[in-house]
Amino acid sequence: MTGKDSGVQRLGRECCGRIKVLLLMLAVLVLSPRAATAQSARSYLLKPAAVFDGANAPHSGWAVLVKGERIVAAGPLGEVGIPSGTEIIDLPGLTLLPGLIDLHTHLLLHPYNEALWDDQVLKEPFTVRVARAVAAARSTLMAGFTTLRDLGTEGAGYADVGLKQAIDQGVVPGPRLVVVTRAIVATGSYGPKGFDPGRARSDRQGRRLDQSLRRLPLGTERRGATHLFAVRIKRDRRGGPQQRPARRRPRHPS
């Protein structure tokens, strides 16, 4: 590796670090309702080398005024009214641009070259998937995306709603989320072929599930069992769910 290559890589790491600091700062200033509530009266003036508004070439000498959780002004430094008590944040050598929006994401999934879709949906623990989603939300924000439309949890139920609430409450960092929870698809057109984790393949599997529910200790309900299992346990106390008699196949004369 040449000295020039080493210098380029060092400069790249330095720029990436400064950009991450800038994005994290903007996340705290703009995207955290908790921080905005506590500091609603505070103003910040961001002074980068240039501002890109998405319509024209980057504007040199522009500044961005942030008050609470709102960007209230952007334009030439001399034309932006600066309230008294505003904190000036100099960002030399950096270009500031509006937050990006991704209209099709799945935070509850990770790249298929790491794990196949089937393995993620059917084998990975739910808590691991949620933890990955929290990390993905943070890294997506640090990449400059401030709004995501997340189109389905892919077997994780309503976990995207909880993630959105955690971000909105300032518990974890992340972009604004528009969530849809469960996707609606035609039967058999999506997912593992010939297998539905929520449906037994035969009556025998249903009977096995019934027996497993009967063996559940009654204390499970008090230890935080899901509502579905709690209901089934209560029904078992009354003698178990009603079972339909098995249908007999009609005999045809030979």
Query: Distance of CA 17 to CAs 10, 24, 94, 139, Å?
Result: 11, 11, 12, 13
Question: Which residue would you say has higher pLDDT here, 163 or 213?
Answer: 163
> Are the beta carbons of 230 and 224 closer than 8 angstroms?
no
Bridge-based pairing state of the strands 145-150 and 87-96: unpaired
CATH of the domain at 40: 2.30.40
Q: Return the higher-pLDDT residue of 225 and 152.
A: 152
Residues 121 and 158 in one domain: yes
- Decide if 193 is inside a domain: no
Number of domains in the chain: 3
* Domain harbouring 144, CATH code: 3.30.110.90
Q: Are residues 26 and 56 in the same domain?
A: yes
* H or E element in which residue 138 lies: helix 126-142
Average per-residue pLDDT in the chain? 73
Q: Are residues 173 and 114 in the same domain?
A: yes
pLDDT tens-place string over residues 33-91:
444 444 456 899 999 999 998 888 999 999 999 998 788 999 999 899 999 899 999 99
Same domain, 174 and 214: no
CA-wise closest residue to 156 among 192, 185, 178, 132: 132
Of 108, 208, 113, 114, nearest to 161 (Cα)? 108
Is residue 4 assigned to a domain? no
Reading the block at residue 83, the tokens are 């309230």
Is residue 75 located within the same domain as residue 122? Answer: no
Q: In percent, how much of the chain has pLDDT > 70?
A: 56
Pair (37, 66) in one structural domain: yes
Residue 197, classed as helix, strand or coil, is coil
Average pLDDT over residues 118-123: 89
Identify whether 21 is part of a domain.
yes
- Is residue 249 one of the residues assigned to a domain? no
Predicted local distance difference test score (pLDDT) of residue 193: 57
Handedness of CA 82, 84, 86, 90 (dihedral sign): positive
In a domain, 162, yes or no: yes
What's the domain range around 55? Answer: 10-97
pLDDT tens sequence across 121-141: 889 999 999 999 999 999 999
Segment 171-187, tens digit of pLDDT: 999 999 999 887 777 66
Q: What span, in angstroms and rounded, lies between the C-alpha atoms of 36 and 29?
A: 7
Whether 209 and 158 share a structural domain: no
Domain C-terminal end among 97, 113, 145: 97
Q: For residue 185, tell me if it sits in a domain.
A: no
In this structure, the answer to whether residues 88 and 129 fall within a common structural domain is no
Cβ(74)–Cβ(44) below 8 Å: no
Q: What angle do CA 202, 208, 210 make, to 5 degrees?
A: 110
Task: State pTM to two decimals.
Answer: 0.60
| Residue after which a domain boundary falls, among 97, 120, 141 | 97
